[in-house]
Amino acid sequence: MAVKICVVGLGYLGSTHAVSMANLGHDVIGIDLDSAKVNLLNAGRVSFYEPGLESSLQESLSRGLVRFQTSFKMAETPDVVFVCVGTPESASHKSADTSHVFSAGESLTNVISRDTVVVGKSTVPVGTAALLRERMSAVAGLPVHLAWNPEFLREGTALEDSLNPDRIVIGSWDDYSSQKLKEVYKPILDRGTPLVEVDVPTAELVKVAANAFLATKVSFINAMAEVAEVSGADAVELAKAIGYDDRIGNKFLRNGIGFGGGCLPKDIRGFVARAEELGVGEAVSFLRDVDAINQRRRAWVVTLAEQELGELKDRKILMLGLSFKPETDDMRDSPALDIALRLARAGAKVTVHDPVALHALGDKHPELIGEQDLSAAAMDQELVILGTEWSEYKSIDPASFGDLVANKLIIDGRNVLDVASWQAAGWRLIALGRNVHN
Ligand code: UDX
């Protein structure tokens, strides 16, 4: 049965969630204070690159299942409100800024009824939900039903992850709220998707714990890469060997220039800050090392460039890829962008290429030279760095590509290039964590 749903906050998470809810047949209103975003969504367009999302949005709009607005006023009281606003890293570069969650909660107190269930989806420090429930109930003058339902979608496969999740986690204080959420997710649960019902603090923690674990896994293999580089070992083969142990698993063990994006980096920092507030900072202090290992990989690529080219001033370097991973134009905390900027700061003439993210660069970084055409970008370069593993780069022909550059020197920051064929074409290839350079 269709549930009347409201989604507050139409960023990555919110717009994907609104479209997913409509996709399940619910009646959805999306709210965001940014009128440009709202107008775009009502016109069937999404402001970021996410495969499949725009066509699904257009289908939901044409079926009249979703609409977007800037106002919190609704003709009918929603049954369920999902809070999907952002929780960015605060100015102090540590804790998560939850101000948008509380302001959304306050605006909602005017439009919800005793029967509405407010559901937090944003990634928040543990304890936020309890405070939010207390404040909303005080302002609304009635006990607000609040639940927490973390989202695990990955950019690039967001809609698919949202509609076919590994699991659904529901944290609630009362049976009414969890029943309502089970009604919302009925089509997904009926397919046998695991449901984990927990208390609210656990639901809040699940998300940061999952992201902290993933970040740790990536930094673990990058730490092994550091050791491999000085000991003659090969971190790619090592990952393969340990990954066959199904207690370890082979996913998230790709060494390279590390993790970025809008979640992993900020979530581990926010987690450390919250644990310190709670007096258990030591329990997660290892996450500082996880962060430091991740940053070190970026610095290492700059060191490698210096080792290969000497003084970087005026040297011509091409960065292949700008987004923090393929299939997205998101450059938040992107390792590729960060390295490009570090090289530019060191005086290098850095050209950047990306199949989709270049437009998002805008005029934010005039020190970088954007080039949409791959051949033109390669022209006369003295060093090429592969920073994002777009499939387009994996299929580059090293022979003809080599004819364009001034110096056949490449650093594979993601370990995706076929070493033998690049070497056969006369390239000096440096693969992170591997002692393969010729
Ligand atoms: C992540 C979580 O995966 C998702 O569950 C959560 O909801 C949001 O945060 P996302 O930020 O989209 O999703 O990116 P993800 O696919 O997790 O990749 C994160 C970063 O790790 C990327 O920069 C990627 O390049 C890097 N990474 C990933 C590696 O360097 N090596 C790996 O083996 C895997």
Q: Is the distance from the beta carbon of residue 331 to the nearest atom of ligand 1 less than 6 Å?
A: no
| pLDDT value, residue 93 | 64
**Residue 264 Cα, ligand 1 centroid: separation in angstroms?**
7
| pLDDT value, residue 92 | 73
pLDDT digits (tens, 9 = 90+) for 282-322: 999 999 999 999 999 999 999 999 999 999 999 999 999 99
Find, among 127, 159, 145, 226, the residue nearest to 17 by Cα.
159
For ligand 1, atom 30: residue with the closest CA: 258
Burial 317-340 (b: 16+ CB within 10 A, else e): bbbbbbbbbbbbbbbbbbbbbbbb
Residues 6 or more apart in contact with residue 60 via CB below 8 angstroms = 19, 22, 23, 28, 66
pLDDT digits (tens, 9 = 90+) for 178-207: 999 999 999 999 999 999 999 999 999 999
Q: Is 6 a catalytic residue?
A: no
Which regions in the chain score pLDDT beneath 70?
93, 437-438
Q: Which atom of ligand 1 is nearest to the CA of 156?
A: 12
Provide the pairing of β-strand 80-83 with 66-69: unpaired
CB 384 within 8 A of CB 417: no
CA 346 to chain centre: 28
Q: Is the distance from the beta carbon of residue 181 to the nearest atom of ligand 1 less than 6 Å?
A: no
Q: State phi, psi for 252 to the nearest 5 degrees.
A: 60, 30
Q: Is the distance from the beta carbon of residue 268 to the nearest atom of ligand 1 less than 6 Å?
A: no
| pLDDT value, residue 94 | 77
Q: Is the distance from the beta carbon of residue 294 to the nearest atom of ligand 1 less than 6 Å?
A: no
For ligand 1, atom 27: residue with the closest CA: 259
**Residue 150 Cα, ligand 1 centroid: separation in angstroms?**
16
**Residue 282 Cα, ligand 1 centroid: separation in angstroms?**
25
Kind and range of the H or E run holding 16: helix 12-23
Instruction: Report the amino acid identity of residue 31.
Output: I
Question: Distance between CA 195 and CA 205 in Å, rounded?
Answer: 16
Provide the pairing of β-strand 145-148 with 168-172: antiparallel
**Residue 163 Cα, ligand 1 centroid: separation in angstroms?**
19
Question: Distance between CA 381 and CA 348 in Å, rounded?
Answer: 11
pTM across the whole model: 0.96
Selecting among 263, 305, 350, 384, the annotated active-site residue is 263
**Phi and psi based region of residue 411 (left: phi greater than 0; alpha: psi -120 to 50; beta: remaining):** beta
Find, among 31, 103, 19, 36, the residue nearest to 73 by Cα.
31
